[in-house]
Structure 1
Amino acid sequence: MSSSPIKNATIGKVFVQHYNPVSGQQEWEMQDEDYDYSKEVASSAYADMLHDDERNQLYYDAIRKAVATLRARGDSVRVLDIGTGTGLLSMMALQCGADHITACESFEPMACCAEKVLVANGFAEKVQVIHKRSTELVLGEDLPERANLLVAELFDTELIGEGAISTYEHARLHLLTEDALLVPSGALVYAQVVSSDLLASTNVPYYNRPPHSSHLNLPSWLAECPGSISVHDLQLSQLDPSHFTAVSEPLCMFKFDWSGRDIPLSTTDTVHVSFLSRLDKSLECHAVFMWWHLIMDQDQDIVLSCAPTWAERDSSLAWRDHWMQAVYHLPRPFIPLTAHSSSKPLILTAARDDYSMWFSLSHGTTDVRPPAPHCSCGQHLVNPRTRLAQLSDIHRLNFLSRVLDAALALPRTMAWLVLGDASNVLLIGRLASHANVQHVYVHETIRQNRRLLLDFLELNALKEHVTLLPEDLSKISVAAVKHKIGVVFAEPHFNSSLLPWHNVRLSSLLSECSHLLPPSYASVQPHSSKSSPSDQRPQELSSSETNGRNVSEDVPSNLTNPTDFESNSFVSRSVDLNFPTSKSLESHCAGNTVPSLPISTSAMLLPACVSIHVMAVSFDDLWKIRAPCRQRCGFDLTAFDEMVDLARTGTGEVVEPQPLWEYPCYSLHEPVMITKLYLREPICGVQRHFKGNVELDVDALRASDAARPDRIKRQARDKSADAQPELYFNGVAVWADWHFADQTISTGPLAHDHLTGRKVAWNATCHQGVHLLRHPRSLLSPATSGISKIFHYCLDLKDGNFSFKFQLEEERCNASSE
């Protein structure tokens, strides 16, 4: 996140404020004076839309048909292009014979880009670009006369979320003739009721409970929350059919006529559709899948479908990331259905306003408009869906429960410190009620999460066993912490973390509270004092002056004699934890600066270490969102490519968060660990450099699933974004593994071995880091035969910022060069 730049005239630079999720602080970064917001375009997936050849061709066909219809009427063709972007639709209209074109674009970098694209294609004199919103156009000033052909792309995953209804209605009233043609002319919205425990767990807090928590109760108001109105967009084609059961067929719920002639463009609408369900098993109805079709022409002959592949039973449907499908979560209580019972009809109700849709399900007949869902529990407002999914992920819960089992089995009583955002209250409750736990200190800074924890503790009579700490840990006095902290525990999770390694913010918090932790046995005789039970209600401790101390370095402590951990490949795996000591780590990072001493404490840290991993991959489709456009439908779009390239200059290798389970890819080698970082070692205020390389086994890739004929054939038939005729290196996946004793919770692949050339299955409860190559590299083409491919990776760690560099180097093999 960044704010507006502030100019420093003396040095010709601007300072741009951004948030460092590792340190948890706002920081200022110096940028060149010509900093502009075209970087927003470079970092967006805008190009994906331009790479959608099916979309482009259907628009072209519909525009050609509309121009021919107007010509047949004897009318001149006056086009208004709303939100022109690169000007592609305007150029299509001009090529089809339009007489006059006015294009409007309110985002200044794109408006300037459109003008450059028009110049490059020789259309600068024929298309007028107005740097305004369509609702700001003045007839007779910006627009010579009312247009009789409107072309626009105003849609998002929810169809109407970008204001399509109000924009079309304003155009109808103020900018178009009464008989104007529109491309597209309308839309249909489809919905399908489903049962899915997996999807329910992404919306219902604590849908699944961890082991040993049956004696704990959750506040009733948590179950009464209807959820959030914000759309849950997904690539439904990648959702495994075993993870949902269809309760209904796809039902047409809303019909839109963008001209407003046949169907008025009302600001609100409610539709009720009755259906019968025939099921082989009893279940509950959890959610509604939604997608839409664009009707491109007046005769409804040209249709663009955004349906998932399994709904149309057509695996050749175009891939697109700009218009995905959506999940709408039904409010509780969920309606239960009995197997083989279909006598009673169900009513699916769809309601909408100008920008949003929502759904409800009921038995029998109804004419009631359901209220829009608004979160009442606060959990949907402050916590991302991935976090809600983690709180209910049974594999993760079982893993964390085993971690707690091992620590609680140690033959001594101690206090626990829990760090992180949205920590699982059921795990905290288990600790607070365990005989081996003297007291639990919790650091939770988000108001809505604190409310849940406080009510939970009150409900379960645990208020005397838990203390909530103030936000600034460094200002808590040692005297205020009455119990000796023996374990520091985190999952870890912080809502500010966009990428998996951002959760090393845990290291910063450990530094802030180091004065509260007992000193290392190797440096100071352990503090011994009798701890009295806390009789205060869980609330913030009053802040006072910091009572810190200098401590010496200590080898990280860990669990002793931990219980056996049952491996689960979904989130955990056995690893070699023969980590280097601080001395060997410094040797590995020779020449780097490590100004701060490690935290020296006898307290057990869970987790103790994080490792960063990397893997070069070949994506089926995701690479298109960053690939150059070059030419689309015969039009030169290199000006757009140049704007993106310029905006990316000096930004280094961009690694962005993506839910990779939604984007199929194949591994080009086995995963590689870049480095391991101790959480008791300083990370902020540290400068380190790590690098390595791996040679790709081209022969193994040639014989693998990644190069199988049907995948190559599909890519060759797909002409979007310069279709790849064979296996390409087009992306890099990066993730973090968190090490708890001899087990690991991974944010990466579900399996870590034997991945070369295979499709990768990813942890679906978190985002991974992705670097997409601007220019994909061929691996198997005859031109590169006999040339070894070496993938180089580099990580620079400075002041909590992780900067990556990746490169594919080609070296001619000796045998081939003879």
Structure 2
Amino acid sequence: MFRSNLVPLLSKQVPLRLTRAMSSQFQLRVNPLTGNSEWIVIEENDPESPTPSNTSQTALLATTSYLDMLNDSPRNRAYRQAIDKTVTQPCRVLDIGAGTGLLSMMAARAMGPPSSTTCRMVTACESYLPMVKLMKKVLRLNDMENQIKLINKRSDELELGVDIDSRAQVLVSEILDSELLGEGLIPSLQHAHDMLLVESPETVPFRATTYGQLVESTYLWKLHDLRGNEAIACDGISLVPTGFEDVLGVKPQQYAFHCDAIANEVKLLSEPFKIFEFDFSRRPESGGETELSVKATNDGRVHAIISWWILQLDREGKIFYSTAPRWINLPANISHGDWCDHWKQCVWFVPGEGMSVKKDKEVFLHAVHTDISISYNIKSPESRNTSMHYGVTGRDFRLILPPERIAIYGDSEWRQTMFDAISNVLQGRVDPLCIVADDSVFLALLIAHLSKTSHVMSFFPGLQDKGVQYLQAVARANNFSVDRVEYIKKKKTELTVHDTHQKKVELLIGEPFYYGTDNMLPWQNLRFWNERTMLQSVLSEDALIMPCKAILKACALSIPDLWNSRCSLSKIEGFDHSVVNSTLGACGELPGEQEGPCLPYFIWQCGDVKKLSEAITVMEFDFSKPIMPSHGKTQVEFAEPGICHGFALWIDWVMDSDDSIVLCTGPDKRYWKQGVKLLAKPVEVGKSSSAVIEAWFDPSTGDMDVRHAFS
């Protein structure tokens, strides 16, 4: 259900990186400036006064999608209606992945007024301790502590006769992600049907059906076909050389994506088609497959399969919830929901340049599901009986990068920017020693390509051995000897001139890009500044640092859909949730001086968005000096009237000392996430309005404290 930029994927049913110790748990997080893993303590007790461990928990929970989910009114209403129809008398109810306890409270209320008969008839299991703590608060606030039995376990850890007295007659659950299966829906249902539920139980939801559509989209094609896109570039670098088509690419999987944002860039090549159906009231199979014959509705090239699902919440088929893109004409009894970030559509990339189709001709789609994912294989009638493999062919490894990174590496403008910057700094340098501080395979190749006498040392902090294997594989195709690129396994703090062959480093560079940090805030890539500082002892006096500096930029936004998905909660279908606002990072109505967090988003995918001001500079970070605390303050003049919901913040990377080559990562650049600081309350502004933005950067944590004030 939610992704955090501090920890790996967490969910209500997917195993957590937690270890138990008496009355506390320890959870792994990553320090954004060092890349080092750290443990934070999650205490079992729940003191009201903030402590360091509580602060860490709050910061972590604010990055999840719980708040967005709880603000999804169509979802909440559909569940309430279905539970009211299903739970019409006292019965045993099991809630898997209870979260804040909303579904459990709905079920308890549906049984009628509290009595000795209905006491603790609802069992709620929730494995994630911070959510257990929040749920206890919510139950207490709504005077339902005695009606619901809360168990801090995964559902497959529950034991009949120990945790629950008897099998449940009704299952309520919301363990769904954008793909449907990624939160462990199938294994959770299997165990529940085997061990926890009566035969033929009632379930809410009752059924889920996945659908798909064939599309042509240049944008989606750029997110995965690096070979096809870099053919347009004229820099002589081959990230995917001929014969090495499988050496670098995206993972063959479905990617959650706000497809409405590219509605004008999509050519539909088929009608929607049904793929899989999952009946929650029956024990599901771990795997399944189907082959569909899909008729093309237009000439074109299939670049992707866009998929979504429709949830039938009641047995009779009267209550539905859909994640379909808005261009889909839904039946009259199913409506499109509001914009939300917790459930999106999914995109499956058709390999390479895609497959050409002709109108009215058939395309054969082979769909397979495991217990946690769905994948596809698309064939023309001519290749229907041939085997197609969408993965590695004949290689021991494959370098897997995020789709946006593939698109950046294939972007001619970005590549030209890097080419110009590196060419300039290498002029006049003989046998330069260069260090690539981050995970950029492109820059390592570019230096070796442009300077035949250079020696390149790469840290590859995230890619590690895979980065080296990749460079070794493509070195000859890029016309340089593999021994000119060296992988440094030492920590940056331990590096000496002995490790650099008694030479001082003349060029220290980065994009910056750190593998595995896709959900980090833009300024957390200032890790490059921290690493430059750690390498001070091996830098020559005239060493060139690239980028030379970073600029924190900002602009004012009207962004109502995102604001509404993150706003403070009051009552949800009659249940008070105000107690969770502070912990979940809501905007508006927080206690005292507390403000909501900055969170990372692709702003262009955030529904209705309008810029209300020009981009302004908040502060600069000079990489010629060691990392230090920084402060900036600037005034925002509004250029457009409207309702201001917050500010976008991003980093522009200045690649040269003349400030002539600048890499912008702002809202207009769709391959980078920006930070969003939402206001406590939206403010109506005119062209004469102004605001002040002030920011403080803490080099010990990598955090940026952003404040604002309206004139």
Instruction: Give the TM-score taking structure 1 as reference length.
Output: 0.71
1:229-240 matches, within 5 Å, as 229-240=252-263
Task: Give the conservation status (yes or no) of the 8 Å contact 2:694–2:708.
Answer: yes
Tell me the residue number matched to 1:523: none
Secondary structure of 1:673's counterpart equals strand
2:115 matched residue in structure 1: none
Cα distance, 1:608 vs structure 2: 1.9
Alignment of 1:687 onto 2:635: no
The residue number in structure 2 matching 1:439 is 454
Deviates more, 1:179-188 or 1:498-507: 498-507
Shift of 1:221: 3.9
What's the CA shift for 1:609?
A: 1.9
Residue 554 of structure 1 corresponds to: none
**How many aligned residue pairs are there?**
660
The amino acid that maps onto 1:639 is V
Take 1:289 and 1:673, find their aligned partners in 2: how far apart are those partners? Answer: 38
Rate the CA distance shift 1:611–1:265 in 2: closer, same or farther, 3 A.
same
Aligned equivalent of 2:171? 150
Aligned residue for 2:475, secondary structure, equals helix
- Equivalent of residue 360 in structure 1, options 351, 372, 377: 377
CA distance in 2, matches of 1:351, 1:205: 26
1:450 paired residue among 465, 468, 477: 468
Q: Is the 8 A contact 2:523 2:704 kept in 1?
A: no
The amino acid across from 1:180 in the alignment is: P
Whichever residue aligns with residue 764 of structure 1, its letter is: R
**What is the CA distance between 1:413 and its match in structure 2?**
5.3
Contact 2:529 2:623 in 1 (8 A): yes
CA distance in 2 between counterparts of 1:286 and 1:483 reads 49
Query: What is the DSSP-based 3-state SS (H/G/I as helix, E as strand, rest coil) of the residue aligned with 1:796?
Result: strand
Q: Distance in 2 between matches of 1:463 and 1:288?
A: 41
Task: Return the alpha-carbon distance in structure 1 between the equivalents of residues 239 and 152 of structure 2.
Answer: 59
For the Cα contact (< 8 Å) 1:615–1:734, is it kept in 2? no
Aligned positions of 1:534-545 closer than 5 A: none
The SS at the match of 1:200 is helix
Structure 1 stretch displaced more, 192-201 or 265-274: 192-201
Say yes or no: does 1:351 pair with 2:362.
no
Indicate how the Cα distance of structure 1 residues 299 and 373 shifts in structure 2: closer, same or farther if over 3 A, else same.
Answer: farther
**Structure 2 vs 1, CA of residues 454 and 168 (structure 1 numbering), >3 Å: closer, same or farther?**
same
Compared with structure 1, are the counterparts of its residues 412 and 374 closer, same or farther at alpha carbon in structure 2 (3 Å cutoff)? closer
- C-alpha displacement at 1:481, in angstroms? 4.9
More divergent stretch after superposition (96-105 vs 59-68): 96-105
Q: Quote the residue 1:575 is aligned against.
A: none
**Is the CA contact (8 Å cut-off) linking 2:645 and 2:678 kept in structure 1?**
no
Give the conservation status (yes or no) of the 8 Å contact 1:192–1:248.
Answer: yes
TM-fit CA distance, 1:695: 5.2
The separation in 1 between residues aligned to 2:409 and 2:264, in whole angstroms, is 23
Q: Distance in 2 between matches of 1:457 and 1:289?
A: 36
Task: Kindly state the Cα deviation for residue 205 of structure 1 after the two structures are TM-superposed.
Answer: 4.3
Query: Structure 1 pair 422/807, CA: closer, same or farther in 2 (3 Å)?
Result: closer
2:629 partner amino acid: Q
- Over 3 Å counting, the alpha-carbon distance change for 1:83 and 1:509 in structure 2 is closer
Match of 1:118 in 2: 139
Instruction: Decide which of 65, 81, 98 is 1:61's aligned counterpart.
Output: 81
Residue 793 of structure 1 is matched in structure 2 by 694
Paired residue secondary structure (1:239): helix
In structure 2, C-alpha distance between the alignment counterparts of 1:15 and 1:359, rounded to whole Å = 38
CA distance in 1, matches of 2:421, 2:139: 61
Q: Which runs of 5+ in 2 are unaligned?
A: 1-5, 8-16, 42-50, 113-117
1:115-194 map, 5 Å: 115-194=136-215
Deviation per residue, 1:617-651 (Å, 9 max, x gap): 23222234542211111221123235547999999
- The CA deviation string for residues 244-277 of structure 1, in whole angstroms up to 9 with x for no partner, is 43332221110111112xxx61110001111222
Report 1:366-385 matches (<5 A).
378=397, 380-381=399-400, 383-385=401-403
In the aligned structure 2, how far is the partner of 1:606 from the partner of 1:732? 25
What is the CA-CA distance between 1:309 and the residue it aligns to? 1.4
Taking a change above 3 Å as real, the CA distance of residues 207 and 514 of structure 1, as seen in their structure-2 partners, is: farther
1:629 matches 2:647: no
Tell me what 1:300 maps to: 317
Residue 678 to residue 123, structure 1, CA distance change in 2 (3 Å): closer
Report the Cα offset of residue 295 of structure 1. Answer: 0.9
Alignment partner of 1:84 out of 98, 105, 117: 98
Distance in 2 (alpha carbons) for counterparts of 1:203 and 1:134:
37
Structure 1: stretches of 5+ with no match in the other structure: 8-12, 519-599, 708-726, 750-760, 811-818
Q: Quickly say closer, same or farther: Cα 1:215–1:257, change in 2 above 3 A.
A: closer
Distance 1:205 1:188 in 2: 33
In the superposition, relative to structure 1, how do residues 806 and 616 fare at CA in structure 2: closer, same or farther (>3 Å)? Answer: farther
Shift of 1:439: 1.9
| SS, match of residue 211 in structure 1 | coil
Which of 322, 325, 350 aligns to 2:342? It is: 322
Of 100, 124, 127, the match for 1:106: 127
Matched residue type, 1:467? V
Between the aligned partners of 1:279 and 1:241, the Cα distance in structure 2 is 16
Hey, what's the Cα distance between the residues in 2 that align with 1:27 and 1:89? 34
Pairwise CA distance, 1:307: 0.7
- How much does 1:769 deviate? 1.9
* Distance change in 2, residues 1:81/1:144 (3 Å): same
Corresponding residue number in structure 2 for 1:766:
672
Contact 2:253-2:375 within 8 A present in 1 as well: no
- SS of corresponding position for 1:468: strand
Superposed displacement of residue 458, structure 1? 3.1
Distance 2:37 2:285 in 1: 44
> Conserved in 1, the CA contact under 8 Å of 2:123 and 2:149?
yes
How far residue 337 of structure 1 moved from its aligned partner, in angstroms, is 1.4
**Does the CA-based 8 Å contact 2:160-2:196 persist in structure 1?**
yes
Query: Is the CA contact (8 Å cut-off) linking 1:186 and 1:258 kept in structure 2?
Result: yes
Q: 2:355 aligns with which of 336, 345, 349?
A: 336
Please name the residue that 1:590 is paired with. none
Aligned match of 1:253 = 275
Question: Higher mean Cα deviation, 370-379 or 621-630?
Answer: 370-379
Query: Contact 2:101 / 2:139 at 8 angstroms: preserved in 1?
Result: yes
State the match for 1:494 in structure 2.
514
Q: CA deviation at 1:354?
A: 0.6
Moved more, 658-667 or 57-66: 658-667
Determine the C-alpha separation between the residues in 2 that align with 1:384 and 1:807.
33
> Could you tell me which residue of structure 2 aligns to residue 813 of structure 1?
none
Residue of structure 2 equivalent to 1:196:
217
Measured against aligned partners, the alpha-carbon deviations of 1:327-385 in whole angstroms (never above 9, x if no partner) come to 122345x55316x5644x2111110111111111112385899778579675554x433
Identity %: 24
CA distance in 2, matches of 1:803, 1:322: 25
Amino acid at match of 2:465: R
User: Given that residues 47 and 624 in structure 1 are in contact (C-alpha distance below 8 angstroms), is that contact kept between their aligned partners in structure 2?
Assistant: no
Q: 1:275 — aligned with what? A: 294
1:445-594 pair list within 5 angstroms: 445=460, 446-463=464-481, 466-472=484-490, 475-477=495-497, 481=501, 487-495=507-515, 498-511=520-533, 513=535, 518=540
Report the Cα offset of residue 397 of structure 1.
1.5
- Contact 1:139-1:146 within 8 A present in 2 as well: yes
Which residue identity is paired with 2:669?
Answer: N
List per-residue Cα deviations over 1:187-230 (Å, max 9, x = no partner).
11012223334323333445422313178972634437785244
Q: How has the CA–CA distance of structure 1 residues 619 and 512 changed in structure 2, closer, same or farther, with 3 Å as cutoff?
A: same
Aligned residue in 1 for 2:419: 401
1:501 and 1:808, CA in 2 relative to 1: closer, same or farther beyond 3 A? same
2:660 alignment partner in structure 1 = 743
Taking structure 2 as the reference length, what is the TM-score of the superposition? 0.81
**AA at the equivalent of 1:234:** F
Q: Separation in 1 of the partners of 2:621 and 2:702?
A: 14
Range with greater deviation from structure 2 (104-113 or 444-453)? 104-113
- Tell me the alpha carbon deviations over residues 762-817 of structure 1, each in whole angstroms, 9 at most, x when there is no partner: 312122222334x324336xxxx99966333122343473422313245xxxxxxx
TM-aligned CA deviation for residue 292 of structure 1: 0.6
1:659 to 596, 602, 619: 602
Q: Is the 2:647–2:677 contact (alpha carbons within 8 Å) kept by the matching residues of 1? A: yes
CA shift for structure 1 position 511: 4.4
Give the C-alpha shift of residue 65 in structure 1. 2.2
In the aligned structure 1, how far is the partner of 2:19 from the partner of 2:286? 38
Q: Distance in 1 between matches of 2:602 and 2:399?
A: 19
| Residue identity matched to 1:397 | R
| Aligned mate of 2:616, from 672, 690, 708 | 672
Which string of whole-angstrom CA distances, capped at 9 and with x for unpartnered residues, describes residues 404-451 of structure 1? 45556x5675636252434344x65555455x6532424243211111
